[in-house]
Structure 1
Amino acid sequence: MAKSADLQAADLLRDIPDNSLDLVQEAFTVFIRESLPPFNYHVKGTILLLHGQAYTSYVWQNSNMMQIFSAMGFHCIAPDLPGQGRTEGTGIADKEKPRFFSLLIDTLYLKRVIVVAASMAGQYILPLLPDFRITCLVAIALSDSKMPPERSSVIKTPTLVLWGDKDTSLGPICASNLKNLPFVKLIKIPSATHACHESNPKYVQTVILNFLDLITEYDLI
């Protein structure tokens, strides 16, 4: 893990570059935000951050999540999902969302990726599991988390499930639905609402970084 001095030296207020990515097969131009580790450090891994229904990729920048993760050695990419933010094109049907996300990973030429997904983004990521490209998942109060036992038993992807202690809807449901995954850790975030990454970002960042540090020790990233 990067030294605390690295975090102290990093400019966390620097602008997050805006960019766009053409997904030709889907007729989408996807708006993305991207941040890299400072000082030309070795990149530990790439994190794809997927926002929830009422948000855009800006939530990951506004909470300093991207800046913190990059200061600690990770390449971060946060797209505006279809139908939201600055991504061109209309929204897509729920059944098409996993295919869209899979194509996004391929278009970014990512062989291995860490996924941090919130709320509605469960529709994009959960149907893909298990997927050899996805090294681990941080599931923040994901929607559409119900799956039959015979499917959950084969998902070996290391998964961290987070939800706020004030969340009375999707968070507890997600925790209950995913608690039987073979490699899962469940953590309730104190003083946090449904969007716990926004209401208690420092706590969430700490938990996620420690989780990624543990995964790194086992050479999974």
Structure 2
Amino acid sequence: MIVRSTFLKVITAGIVIFGVVVFILNLISYHQNGHDYSLVDDNNAYVMSNRDGDALIRIKADVQSNSKPAVLYAGDGKIVVPEVRIRAYMISMNHEQEQHVLVREAGEGNFNILLLHGQSFSSKTWEKIGTLQHLASWGYRAFAIDLPGYGNSSLPVIQEAATVQWLMRLIRTLRLSNFVIISPSMSGRFAIPYVIQSNTKHQSMIGFVPISPSGTKNFDTKDYQQVQIPTLIVHGENDTNFQSAINTLKLIPSNEVLTIKNASHACYVQQPLQFHNGLRRFLYTIYRPIYIEQYKSRSASLNNSNSSLLLEKSDDHDRNSKLKGESNNRTIDEKHTHVH
């Protein structure tokens, strides 16, 4: 009896110690991970109750990524650029004339960014300063192209009147939708006419980032006032030659201005940290509502499907109950018949 009593005491003590250890470990884990959930604000709280784990992870990561600077410095003071695979390839714009355009692409997804370039640069510039890599790491699909007559493009420089048609053909070839155009300097003569027509012809364009662009004088005040696309106007604080272009772009109703400190005309190249942080915030304001609406729509669709399944199950249950009742009635009738 004494041996059995001792054995039971040892087992009981072991169970108690195990329970205490598990409690302590859970408490430590809670304190270590608790700060993660504080990043999900009230506007996103409805997601927490949904069973769609992938969407929850994406929204949580989205909130986290937009609560800190987009670009960080390493210990040696150099800007950190994410390691992202960049795909370079040629596309054909005109099979008859063999006109080819070089494209550098990074990232995946349905939200697209089209990067044009200035006169002294090419698509390679966006890779050198890390824009392609950052856009991909933020969840966007980015396309940097060589404009006609520049970089590895086989096309000659095209006339002013043909620029918008060329850009339209490029966008169709790349099959872009839900896209934003980033257009510095000379590339404005391609992008500005396209944006002016955006209200009637190019409704899949949802954002515009002009960087001290040329070509703003070719349109009237009312043309800019009718543009409905959110626009981030970027310029260097020392770039006095393009101040009139900046003032013209401010006529676009939905605009905000990003002034790059200690920079001149090629401000995005001279101060990429400031440019990337401003660009990240702007893109977030554009794409975040779209993603939320898509998620809500998907959730509603799932809820409707679940409701339909519940109704079907309810109908099946009613039918089964009815059949069961009829079966019971037949059994009772048979019993009565047998008695009589």
TM-score, with normalisation over the residues of structure 1? 0.89
Given the alignment of the two structures, is residue 85 of structure 1 paired with residue 140 of structure 2, yes or no?
Answer: no
Given the alignment of the two structures, is residue 24 of structure 1 paired with residue 94 of structure 2, yes or no?
Answer: yes
Deviation at 1:166, TM superposition (A): 1.5
CA deviations 1:46-78 (Å, max 9, x no partner) are 100000111100110000011011101010100
1:34-183 equivalent positions in 2, closer than 5 A: 34-37=105-108, 43=109, 45-129=111-195, 130=198, 131-146=202-217, 147-170=219-242, 172-183=243-254
Alignment correspondent of 1:218? 289
* Distance in structure 2 (CA, Å) of the matches to 1:161 and 1:94: 22
* Distance in structure 1 (CA, Å) of the matches to 2:222 and 2:81: 47
Q: Could you say what secondary structure the match of 1:53 adopts?
A: coil
Which shifted more, 205-214 or 138-147? Answer: 138-147
* Distance in structure 2 (CA, Å) of the matches to 1:198 and 1:75: 21
1:185 counterpart letter in structure 2: E
* Distance in structure 2 (CA, Å) of the matches to 1:75 and 1:136: 14
Q: Could you say what secondary structure the match of 1:139 adopts?
A: strand
Structure 1, unmatched stretches of 5+, are 38-42
Deviation at 1:2, TM superposition (A): 6.5
* Distance in structure 2 (CA, Å) of the matches to 1:30 and 1:92: 13
Deviation at 1:13, TM superposition (A): 4.0
Which has a greater percent of strand?
A: 1
Structure 1 or 2, whichever has the larger Rg, is 2
Which has a greater percent of helix?
A: 2
CA RMSD of aligned residues (A): 2.4
Structure 2, unmatched stretches of 5+, are 1-61, 73-79, 295-340
